[in-house]
Amino acid sequence: MIENIVEIDQVWSEHKVLMSAIEAEIRKELRSEVELVNKVAQYIIDSGGKRIRPLLLIISAHLCGGTDKALITMGGGILEFIHTATLLHDDVIDNAEIRRGISPARVLWGNQASILVGDYLYTLALSLAVKIDKYEANTVLADTCLKMAEGEILQLNHNNDLNLSEQTYLQIIEHKTASLISTSCLFGAIIADAPEVENEALRSYGKNLGMAFQVADDTLDYMADNDRLGKSLGEDLKEGKITLPLIHILQNCKDSERIWIEKLIGNEDFFPDDLKKMIDLMTAYGSIRYALKRAQDFSDTAKQDLDSFSDSLHRQSLFALADYVVQRDH
């Protein structure tokens, strides 16, 4: 394992000027004539969020020698708009009652408004991308939106599917999550007019980071502190979403336990005691440990993807982010 020297808090503070510029860009672009669009979009954007995708773009651009502030701020805004659109849609699909510690937009304005404002944000992102006037950036972003939609559809296809394989699970998360995280890094390299070999290294780093990120997210669903997570535990189980810790336990538990687990999957009415028993079983079978190890493996591979870059503050920052995604608690 490659050790990193830079701490995650340092990474955020190192880039706070550009991160603030991206926040300003987001607010500047959110000026629809239709008040409901601004209200719903502003609400979710103001509700927080780690802004990890814009941060990855900034660092990747810098690593490749790119410093164009206008391009970086616009790129960061585009990524956050796409991400926000997917969250609006995701909360409708998942029937979520909580997002970032507060009520999701769908609870306040309804599912229809959430879907339509999500569509608006997707389209806004793509219309801003055209202004960047880089053919490669446009194709990469459009392909990513397609992949993300495919990921959500594939996931829907396998809802409540007790026989979901680890391989198909990995395909789902690569599409729905890792594609945008990968593109955040690649987009930074494209903005910097980096050579193809650097584009490819950052694309691959971002993909592996994104895989680690989603596997960790899926594991946090069974082990996090509710308040820190800003979402409720056990949601995936309730929604019938089959994720890595669940796949592992289903493949390793006794028949009698499998029958009990089957009854819980997709069951809206299970009790806190059931969740506790489930988490205890997952701990006993090493399912949480297994998923965390898989996340750690992806994080280690992400670091190896940066082998071709010489040591620098920015490379170390990307290492720190690779550690952060598997150690985070929210």
Tell me which residues touch ligand IPE (CB under 6 A). 49-50, 52, 86-87, 90, 94, 100, 176-177, 214, 217, 231
Our CB check for ligand IPE shows the closer of 90 and 198 to be 90
Our CB check for ligand IPE shows the closer of 235 and 297 to be 235
Query: Which does residue 14 touch among ligand IPE, Mg ion, none (CB within 5 to 8 A, set by kind)?
Result: none
Query: Which does residue 100 touch among ligand IPE, Mg ion, none (CB within 5 to 8 A, set by kind)?
Result: ligand IPE
Q: Does position 25 bind Mg ion by CB under 5 A?
A: no
Q: Nearest approach, Cβ of 42 to Mg ion (angstroms)?
A: 21
Query: Which does residue 177 touch among Mg ion, ligand IPE, none (CB within 5 to 8 A, set by kind)?
Result: ligand IPE
Residue with smallest beta-carbon separation from ligand IPE: 49
Q: Nearest approach, Cβ of 48 to ligand IPE (angstroms)?
A: 6
Q: Does position 94 bind Mg ion by CB under 5 A?
A: yes
For Mg ion, the binding residues in 284-303 under the rule CB under 5 A are none
For Mg ion, the binding residues in 241-280 under the rule CB under 5 A are none
Q: If DSSP states are collapsed to H, E and C, what string results for the chain?
A: CCCCCCCHHHHHHHCHHHHHHHHHHHHHHCCCCCHHHHHHHHHHHHCCCCCHHHHHHHHHHHHCCCCCHHHHHHHHHHHHHHHHHHHHHHHHHCCCCCECCECCHHHHHCHHHHHHHHHHHHHHHHHHHHHHCCHHHHHHHHHHHHHHHHHHHHHHHCCCCCCCCHHHHHHHHHHHHHHHHHHHHHHHHHHCCCCHHHHHHHHHHHHHHHHHHHHHHHHHHHHCCHHHHCCCCCHHHHHCCCCHHHHHHHHHCCHHHHHHHHHHCCCCCCCHHHHHHHHHHHHHCCHHHHHHHHHHHHHHHHHHCCCCCCCCHHHHHHHHHHHHHHHCCC
Q: Which of 90, 174, 198, 305 binds Mg ion (CB under 5 A)?
A: 90
Query: Which does residue 287 touch among ligand IPE, Mg ion, none (CB within 5 to 8 A, set by kind)?
Result: none
Our CB check for Mg ion shows the closer of 64 and 244 to be 244
For Mg ion, the binding residues in 209-228 under the rule CB under 5 A are 217
Q: Does position 29 bind Mg ion by CB under 5 A?
A: no
